[in-house]
Amino acid sequence: MPNTNLLSLITQLRSVADTGLLYAKNEYDIERYQELQHLSTKMFEEVSGYGTETINLLFHKLQITLPPKLI
């Protein structure tokens, strides 16, 4: 069974990256937030056993359902 605390932390990390991309103004920031998205996806994949496509779909649904201030 996956460690739910670790999954929660990874989800928070992904949320920071997603929110950062909403407000990023320069290419450097955009690249860094995209890298955080990629790393959080890989971490979630390792802990949960889900594939990349499934994880990205889950994160995308979470992003749609919560406004940026709550992510």
Per-residue pLDDT tens digits for 26-37 = 999 999 999 999
User: Rounded to whole angstroms, how far apart are CA atoms 30 and 23?
Assistant: 9
CA–CA separation, 22 vs 40, rounded Å? 17
> Residue 44 and residue 41: Cα distance in Å, rounded?
5
Per-residue model confidence as pLDDT tens digits over 1-53: 568 889 889 988 988 998 899 899 999 999 999 999 999 999 988 988 888 88
Q: What DSSP character marks residue 51? A: -
On whether the CB atoms of residues 63 and 22 are closer than 8 A, the answer is: no
Q: What are the tokens at 25?
A: 């103004």
Structural domain spans, the chain: 4-65
pTM for this predicted structure: 0.73
